[in-house]
């Protein structure tokens, strides 16, 4: 039986990459971005990174062999969390420069469709502020999507017990939503003996069942998003240059 083709770019050899690109098998690339930052007392600092890579990988598996995940930037813009030692933060200029270089790398490798999938709220405003510049510079079908934006008000009302405001409760920060995802996908990151030992007790309301449903919906909708990119139904418009 032929082994399943790899979905993580870093696991390929240069020959394997070259041959898959030359055969026009590779249609889209996901660049996950996130943060390594404090997530209250009970959730591991890798949460945003781990969750966005989990989602990106699952989406690439759904669309195998056409999509690769290109990781290259674990830390994000987290100055607002630096009061808690252990958080790693990049200043916006450094972060956006590094992201632009990663986009350039995968564009030069041959990808026409590139999705920057975001797992950390602090990256959103800086990325959106420069996206028109990114589009002009990279000239690709280049999209930016915070993964929780595929969820709706109805999802929040149906699945969250402690509040359903967007973005305060969904995604919120290390509360019911994020904790449920941790319980469902990487439970070793959730310290259940700590989750009520802090002023915000809402994380202890999270369940793995809730997280599984959230992840199924997110993975299905991001898969749909990137499939539409590949099929030419979701095209980023490059804004005009100054006349
Ligand atoms: Zn988070």
Percent of the chain with pLDDT over 90: 94
Query: Residue 1 has what pLDDT?
Result: 62
The lowest-confidence range among 3-7, 129-133, 210-214 is 3-7
Q: What is the pLDDT of residues 15-59, one digit of tens each?
A: 999 999 999 999 999 999 999 999 999 999 999 999 999 999 999
3 state SS of 63: coil
Q: What is the pLDDT of residues 55-92, one digit of tens each?
A: 999 999 999 999 999 999 999 999 999 999 999 999 99
For residue 117, how far is its CA from the centre of ligand 1 (angstroms)?
14
Q: Note the Cα 80 to chain centre separation in Å.
A: 20
Strand ranges inside 15-130, DSSP E: 28-33, 67-69, 113-118
In contact, 48 and 76? CB cutoff 8 Å: yes
Query: Does position 138 have pLDDT exceeding 80, yes or no?
Result: yes
For residue 214, how far is its CA from the centre of ligand 1 (angstroms)?
15
At residue 2 the predicted structure's pLDDT band, cuts being 50, 70 and 90, is low
Gyration radius of the chain's alpha carbons: 18
* Mean of the per-residue pLDDT values of the chain: 96
Query: Residue 225 has what pLDDT?
Result: 98
Residue 171, token pair as written in the block: 């995604």
For residue 120, how far is its CA from the centre of ligand 1 (angstroms)?
6
For residue 22, how far is its CA from the centre of ligand 1 (angstroms)?
38
Query: Residue 243 has what pLDDT?
Result: 87
Could you give the CA distance from residue 131 to residue 15 in angstroms, rounded to a whole number?
32
Residue 105, token pair as written in the block: 């790398």
> Residue 68: how many CA atoms within 13 Å on its side-chain side?
25
For residue 234, how far is its CA from the centre of ligand 1 (angstroms)?
28
Query: Residue 4 has what pLDDT?
Result: 83
For residue 238, how far is its CA from the centre of ligand 1 (angstroms)?
31
Residue 79, token pair as written in the block: 């100055």
Query: Does position 202 have pLDDT exceeding 70, yes or no?
Result: yes
In contact, 174 and 39? CB cutoff 8 Å: yes
Q: What is the pLDDT of residues 100-127, one digit of tens each?
A: 999 999 999 999 999 999 999 999 999 9
For residue 46, how far is its CA from the centre of ligand 1 (angstroms)?
8
Domains of the chain (ranges; CATH) run 9-151+216-230 (3.40.50.10310)
Q: What is the dihedral of CA 194, 53, 211, 224, to 10 degrees?
A: 160
Edge to edge, what strands does the sheet with 28-33 contain? 67-69, 28-33, 113-118, 141-146
Give the environment of ion ligand 1: residues with CB less than 5 A: 47-48
Query: Residue 217 has what pLDDT?
Result: 98
pTM assigned to the model: 0.97
For residue 48, how far is its CA from the centre of ligand 1 (angstroms)?
5
For residue 77, how far is its CA from the centre of ligand 1 (angstroms)?
12
In contact, 159 and 213? CB cutoff 8 Å: yes
In contact, 75 and 35? CB cutoff 8 Å: yes
At residue 234 the predicted structure's pLDDT band, cuts being 50, 70 and 90, is very high
């Amino acid at each position: 039986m032929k082994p399943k083709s790899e979905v993580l770019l870093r696991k390929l050899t240069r020959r394997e990459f070259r041959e898959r690109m030359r055969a026009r098998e590779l249609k889209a690339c996901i660049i996950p971005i996130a943060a390594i930052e404090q997530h209250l007392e009970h959730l591991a600092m890798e949460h945003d990174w781990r969750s966005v890579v989990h989602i990106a990988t699952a989406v690439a598996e759904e669309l195998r062999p056409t999509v690769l995940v290109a990781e290259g930037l674990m830390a994000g813009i987290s100055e607002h969390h630096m009061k808690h030692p252990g958080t790693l933060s990049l200043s916006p200029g450094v972060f956006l420069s590094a992201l632009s270089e990663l986009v350039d790398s995968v564009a030069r490798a041959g990808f026409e469709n590139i999705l920057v999938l975001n797992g950390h709220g602090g990256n959103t405003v800086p990325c959106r502020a420069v996206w028109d510049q990114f589009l002009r510079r990279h000239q690709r079908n280049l999209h930016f999507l915070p993964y929780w934006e595929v969820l709706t008000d109805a999802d929040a009302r149906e699945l969250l017990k402690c509040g359903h405001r967007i973005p305060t409760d969904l995604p919120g920060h290390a509360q019911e939503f994020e904790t449920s995802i941790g319980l469902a996908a990487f439970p070793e990151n959730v310290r259940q003996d700590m989750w009520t030992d802090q002023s915000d007790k809402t994380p202890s309301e999270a369940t793995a069942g809730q997280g599984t449903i959230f992840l199924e919906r997110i993975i299905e909708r991001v898969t749909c998003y990137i499939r539409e990119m590949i099929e030419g139904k979701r095209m980023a418009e490059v804004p005009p240059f100054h006349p």
